[in-house]
Amino acid sequence: MRSPRECLTDNRIEQIIAILLRAGVLAAVTVVLAGGLLYLSRHGAEQPHYSTFSGEPSRFRTLEGVWDGVKTGNARSLIQLGLLLLLITPVLRVLFSVFAFALRRDLLYTLITLFVLAVLFYSLGGR
């Protein structure tokens, strides 16, 4: 039986990354589309007020707020969840790459990918 290290060839890693990216984007599109359709079914006939600007409510700025809204069936929360899925997709790709390079004992690429992951987390978490 082959070890996991032998199973993860460059070609196999590329295939898994492609599957991760495709699944993440499809999941995000599905959730955003469902939220958009739900929003239009509830608010499609309303007249927009272009003279006043109102920003996103604060409850949509936290994961807890988005998740609470999704549980209650809030369409805007569902759209926000889809956007969060879209943002997390490349992070999952980099996480998998760290795992794959570490499993193959490729220290240089593991360190480079960990640096990329740190930059991603810093950019997503900072204000």
Q: pLDDT tens digits, residue range 91-127?
A: 999 999 999 999 989 999 999 999 999 999 898 875 5
Q: Contact, 66 vs 60, CB < 8 A?
A: yes
Q: Per-domain residue ranges for the chain? A: 11-43+57-125
Asked if 77 contacts 66 with a C-beta cutoff of 8 angstroms, the reply is: yes
pLDDT tens digit sequence for 46-104: 887 778 887 777 887 788 888 998 999 999 999 999 999 999 999 999 999 999 999 98
Q: In angstroms, rounded to a whole number, what is the distance separating the alpha carbons of residues 93 and 120?
A: 11
